[in-house]
Structure formats: structure tokens, C-alpha cells
Amino acid sequence: MTDRAIPRASTLHGWRKSSYSGNESGSCIEVLDAHPTGVPVRDSKRPHGPALVFPHGSWTAFTAAVKDGTLPA
């Protein structure tokens, strides 16, 4: 079974802020592209904290739903 969490997300490099996050501080997430087991997602306010890992297909479906308005941002 593939791990669904990374306890210390800061051990990975290449995080990028969500395009839906504004420039002001607040609720922001960061994602990591090209991870072999899925798409890690972390809270930008807790870079040393954990990250959740979503399967690639699930993450693609989620972002498509947000973009097309099926799932409001």
C-alpha cells in the first residue's frame, strides 16, 4: 500500500503555491509536481509539517472540478 502522508514535508523540494492562493497571508496550499506516488499537498503556513498524498487521477479530477465550477473553489 502506498503511503498517504509524508510526516515532514520539508524533506521534499520543489513545492509551488496553488494558483488559487492569493498573495496575502492566509489559507494557502502548496503542491509538489512529479512525485512518484501521487500529488503531495501541504499547508504553506506549516512547511515542516505533514503533507497528504493524493493519487494522480484523484487530484486531476479534483482540480478539473474546481476549474469547471462543478466544485466551487
In a domain, 26, yes or no: yes
Taking the whole predicted model, whether its pTM rises above 0.75 is answered as yes
Give the tens place of pLDDT for each residue, 14-64. Answer: 999 877 676 666 678 899 998 999 999 999 889 899 999 999 999 999 989
Q: Is residue 73 part of a domain?
A: no
56 located within any domain: yes
Question: Within a domain: residue 18?
Answer: yes
For the chain, the domain total comes to 1
* 29 is a domain residue: yes
pLDDT bin (cut points 50, 70, 90) of residue 1 is: very low
What is the domain extent for residue 25? 5-68
Determine whether 42 is exposed, middle or buried from the number of CB atoms within 10 Å of its CB (0-12, 13-18, 19+).
Answer: buried
